[in-house]
């Protein structure tokens, strides 16, 4: 390995295991490091933590209206395609179950929808599965859990809110010899560090020296799989996440712990790792699978089109003591100065399907 050595603090227990793996098998890509740090069965971040509130707050935790509108979006999209039966309502990375709880509450306005869909939560974390079971135990519908989304030939409505940002990314840095992949090594002091691969990749793009190029083959593979399944079976997928609509150069991978930014290589398994989502590449991947895509549009634009402002005003009128907080939460979700522009929404539907609400 050569170039770009960035020293880190001595590793914790998972870091020590990663260091031994590197010493025996060679350097790890950033994507491989992320996978271990987040998903190691014994010490990975998602296997051992409930990050919601401790390290970040998602839209469903900010306002119940977010989940209610997503639930009604699912109902309307299902009706627009003729109310197919049997069908599944799938959520990728359901967190604490808050989003699904709010979705199901709103969907009670269409009891035929809840009677005819099976709820499936895709969650790999045992700790979060337990939180979800407790949160949804009184929801009145049958729920099943799985570790990975799989298409089974039935139509489905799939929701992925802040799921794709946690999928592993590969990073390439523009060096004199070309675009070289950033790797994780063990430096002379035994600490984890970054270095560049001595062999340049086949990436062909002009950019200044030191520029960083991120891609997520994992995210694109999931999007293509979803697109293919939607095109064959019918239904829809809605992806809401923070990211950008036009690809470019720049490093977005970050580590967060206790609401503070951390060193990426510091205490793996104890901090959250995430990167901005490239919605253009997701849409392209879904289209490769045969689907039609709508968006991405800013989260604020999407939620306003679904009627978030009218719903907030009605809710505030019914709860005058809580009205300021309700309206403040909606502003946080929709304002371009906060989450309204940073977060985006992308819909994936079968070819020739009606345009979904909000797009």
pLDDT of residue 259: 75
Q: At what angle do helices 217-233 and 279-288 cross, to 10 degrees?
A: 40
Q: Which residue has the higher pLDDT, 246 or 117?
A: 117
Q: How many CA atoms does the CB half-sphere of 340 hold within 13 Å?
A: 15
- Confidence label for 56 from pLDDT (cuts 50, 70 and 90): low
Q: What tokens were used for 62? A: 């900010």
Report which of 55, 69, 72, 59 is spatially closest to residue 98, judged by C-alpha positions: 59
pLDDT at 5 over 60: no
The mean pLDDT value for 126-147 works out to 91
pLDDT of residue 227: 98
d(CA 44, CA 166): 13
Nearest to 288 by CA among 233, 221, 353: 221
142: pLDDT strictly greater than 60: yes
DSSP state of 13: H
pLDDT range class, residue 4, cuts 50, 70, 90: low
pLDDT digits (tens, 9 = 90+) for 279-321: 999 999 999 999 999 999 999 999 999 999 999 999 899 989 9
At residue 178 the predicted structure's pLDDT band, cuts being 50, 70 and 90, is very high
Q: Which of 267, 257, 276, 252 is nearest to 44 (CA)?
A: 267
Q: Report d(CA 311, CA 26) in Å as an integer.
A: 55
Of 335, 223, 215, 222, residue with least CA distance to 275: 215
Q: 81-110: b or e for each residue (b if 16 or more CB lie within 10 Å)?
A: beebeebbbbbbbbbbbbbbbbbbebbeeb
> Torsions phi, psi of 355, nearest 5?
-65, 130
**pTM for this model (two decimals):** 0.92
Closest CA to 3 of 37, 32, 27, 38: 27
pLDDT at site 231:
97
- pLDDT band at 48; cut points 50, 70, 90: confident
Would you tell me how many other CB atoms lie within 10 Å of the CB of residue 153?
A: 9
Residues 284/319, Cβ–Cβ less than 8 Å: no
* pLDDT at 164 exceeding the cut of 90: yes
**Class in CATH terms, 14-172+215-260+273-306+344-349:** alpha beta
Q: What percent of the chain has pLDDT over 70?
A: 95
**Other Cβ atoms within 10 Å of 185 Cβ, number:** 18
Which pLDDT does position 215 carry in this prediction? Answer: 95
Question: Residue 9: its pLDDT value, please?
Answer: 52
**178 beta partners:** 175
Q: Among 76-85, 122-131, 152-161, 207-216, where is mean pLDDT lowest?
A: 122-131
Q: What is the DSSP string of 304-337?
A: HHTTHHHHHHHHHHH-GGGHHHHHHHHHHHH-TT
- For residue 54, the model assigns a pLDDT of 54
Tell me, what's the pLDDT at 50?
A: 65
HSE, CB side, 13 Å, CA atoms: give it for residue 41.
1
Please name the residues in contact with 337: beta carbons below 8 A apart, sequence gap of 6 or more: none
Select the more confidently predicted residue: 93 or 3. Answer: 93
What is the average per-residue pLDDT within 157-172?
97
Is 90 exceeded by the pLDDT of residue 1? no
State residue 3's pLDDT score: 59
Between CA 258 and CA 267 the distance in angstroms is: 13
β-pairing verdict for 212-215 and 192-200: unpaired
The pLDDT of residue 2 is above 60: no
Predicted confidence at residue 53, as pLDDT, reads 52
Residue-averaged pLDDT of the chain: 92
| 325 — pLDDT class (breaks 50, 70, 90) | very high
pLDDT of residue 127: 80
Average pLDDT over residues 207-212: 94
Q: Whole-angstrom Cα distance, residue 189 to residue 202?
A: 32
pLDDT: which is higher, 341 or 2: 341
Q: What angle do CA 341, 342, 344 make, to 5 degrees?
A: 75
Residue 332 pLDDT greater than 90, yes or no: yes
Confidence of residue 229 (pLDDT cuts 50, 70, 90): very high
Give the full edge-to-edge strand order of the sheet including 272-274: 260-262, 254-257, 272-274
pLDDT at 27: 97
Does the pLDDT at position 52 exceed 80? no
């Amino acid at each position: 390995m050569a170039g770009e050595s960035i020293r880190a603090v001595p590793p914790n227990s998972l870091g020590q295991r990663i260091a031994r793996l590197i010493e025996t098998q060679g350097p790890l890509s950033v994507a491989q490091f992320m996978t271990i740090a987040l998903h190691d069965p014994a010490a990975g971040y998602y296997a051992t933590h409930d990050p919601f509130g401790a390290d970040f707050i998602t839209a469903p935790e900010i306002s119940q209206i977010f989940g209610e509108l997503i639930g009604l979006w699912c109902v309307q999209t299902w009706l627009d395609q003729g109310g197919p039966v049997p069908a599944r309502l799938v959520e990728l990375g359901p967190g604490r179950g808050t989003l699904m709880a709010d979705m199901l509450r709103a969907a009670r306005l269409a009891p035929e929808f809840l009677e005819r869909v099976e709820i499936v939560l895709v969650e790999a974390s045992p700790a979060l599965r337990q939180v979800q079971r407790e949160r949804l135990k009184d929801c009145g519908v049958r729920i099943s859990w799985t570790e990975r989304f799989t298409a089974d030939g039935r139509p489905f409505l799939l929701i992925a809110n802040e799921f794709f940002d946690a999928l592993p990314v590969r990073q390439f840095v523009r060096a004199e010899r070309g675009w070289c992949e950033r790797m994780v090594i063990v430096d002379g002091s035994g600490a984890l560090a970054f270095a560049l691969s001595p062999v340049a990749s086949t990436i062909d793009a002009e950019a200044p020296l030191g520029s960083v190029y991120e891609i997520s083959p994992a995210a694109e593979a999931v999007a293509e799989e979803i697109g293919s399944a939607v095109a064959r079976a019918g239904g829809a997928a809605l992806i809401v996440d923070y990211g950008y609509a036009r690809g470019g150069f720049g490093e977005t991978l970050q580590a967060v712990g206790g609401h503070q930014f951390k060193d990426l290589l510091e205490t793996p398994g104890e901090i959250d790792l995430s990167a901005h989502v490239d919605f253009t590449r997701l849409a392209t991947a879904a289209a490769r699978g045969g689907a039609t895509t709508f968006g991405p549009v800013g989260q604020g634009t999407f939620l306003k089109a679904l009627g978030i402002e009218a719903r907030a005003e009605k809710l505030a009128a019914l709860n005058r003591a809580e009205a300021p907080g309700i309206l403040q939460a909606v502003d946080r979700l929709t304002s371009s100065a906060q989450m309204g522009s940073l977060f985006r929404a992308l819909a994936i539907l079968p070819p020739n399907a009606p345009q979904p609400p909000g797009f």
